[in-house]
Amino acid sequence: MLRTLSKKNKNILFSVITVVFNGEKYIEECIKSVLSQKNKNFEYIVIDGGSTDRTNDIIKKYKKKINIYISKKDKGIYDAFNIGMSYAKGKYICIVNSDDKLTKNALSIISKYDLKYPKIDFIFGSVRKHWGILYGYKPHKIKYSWGIYSSHSTGFFLSNKAAKKVGKYNLKYKYHADYDYFYRMIVKKKLTGVATNKNEITGIFRRGGFSSTIQYRKLFYEEMLIRYNNGQNFLFLLMLSFYKLFKNWRRFLK
C-alpha cells in the first residue's frame, strides 16, 4: 500500500523517515515525536516492512499527517532505508527508527546549523541514551573504531545532495551496512560534517535495537569484512582484529 499527500511548501527542509517492522510497542511514541516538532518544515515518510502485529493499525490513525506511507514486505531494515530515501524531497534526510524519538526542538536545532553551514554535507545532533548523552563528530576514529558519531539514526541529518553521492545502503551487509555507509561517506567521498553542542539534544535512542540481537562474532566478522572491502590496510586490519578479539573474547565465545 502506498499513500501520498501533497505538500504546500515546495522548499521542504527535512525528510523524516521512520522504518518499522512489527513495532507496535513504540511506533506511536515515535510518530508523535515527529508530528509534534516545533519546526513544521518537513515531510514524513513511513516505511513498514509488512508488519503482522498492530503496527499498521496504529500508523493509520495518523495517515492524514503522513506524506508517504508504504506497507509491503522488504529485504530488511537497510532496504527500508533505501526505499524511504528514494522518496525524500527535503534538503536533509533524517531516519528515526520506530523505537526511537525526536525531541520537540530537534528540527529547529538542525535548522540553526543549516543557516550557519549552508553547504555542509551532514550534521550530527546529540542523542540521549539510557546511560547518558552521545555527542560530537570524531572522523579520525574511522580508522580503528566506529565511535565517530552520536548515533546512526535519530541524530544523523544527511543532505539529500550528499546522499546521492554516497549511494544506497549495501544490502550484502546484514548487520553493519550503516558502518559501510559512513566509511564510504567519510573516507571515500570525503564529505564534511559538523556536530551540535552537547546540550542540543535532537533524539532519544532507546536501549536495544537491531544490532543488539546479533551474536558478537557475526558483527565482528562483518565489521572486518567492511573495512577490508573498503580498502583498509591489511596489516593494520590484522592487528586491529587481534586487539578486538583480545579485548572482547568473552563476547566472541558466546
pLDDT of residue 8: 47
With contact defined as beta carbons under 8 Å apart, do 45 and 15 qualify?
yes
Other Cβ atoms less than 10 A from the Cβ of 138: the count is 12
Flag whether 85 is in a domain. Answer: yes
pLDDT of residue 34: 97
7 has a pLDDT exceeding 70: no
The SS3 of residue 124 is strand
Give the pLDDT confidence of 199-249 residue by residue, as tens digits. 999 999 886 555 556 777 888 888 889 989 988 888 988 888 888 877 776
Flag whether 235 is in a domain. Answer: no
pTM summary value: 0.89
pLDDT grade, residue 6 (50/70/90)?
very low
Give the pLDDT confidence of 65-103 residue by residue, as tens digits. 999 999 999 999 999 999 999 999 999 999 999 999 999
The number of residues making up the chain comes to 254
pLDDT of residue 20: 96
User: What nine digits make up the cell of 171?
Assistant: 544490502
- Report the CATH number that the domain containing residue 163 is assigned in CATH: 3.90.550.10
Whole-number Å distance between alpha carbons of 79 and 74: 6
With contact defined as beta carbons under 8 Å apart, do 121 and 163 qualify?
no
pLDDT of residue 218: 84
Give the pLDDT confidence of 18-48 residue by residue, as tens digits. 999 999 999 999 999 999 999 999 999 999 9
Flag whether 92 is in a domain. Answer: yes
Flag whether 84 is in a domain. Answer: yes
Gyration radius from the chain CA atoms: 18
With contact defined as beta carbons under 8 Å apart, do 126 and 202 qualify?
yes
Give the residue numbers spanning the domain of 24.
2-214
150 has a pLDDT exceeding 70: no
Whole-number Å distance between alpha carbons of 183 and 135: 19
With contact defined as beta carbons under 8 Å apart, do 24 and 33 qualify?
no
Flag whether 245 is in a domain. Answer: no
Flag whether 252 is in a domain. Answer: no
Flag whether 191 is in a domain. Answer: yes
58 has a pLDDT exceeding 80: yes
Flag whether 220 is in a domain. Answer: no
Mean pLDDT over 122-132 rounds to 89
Q: Domain tally for the chain?
A: 1
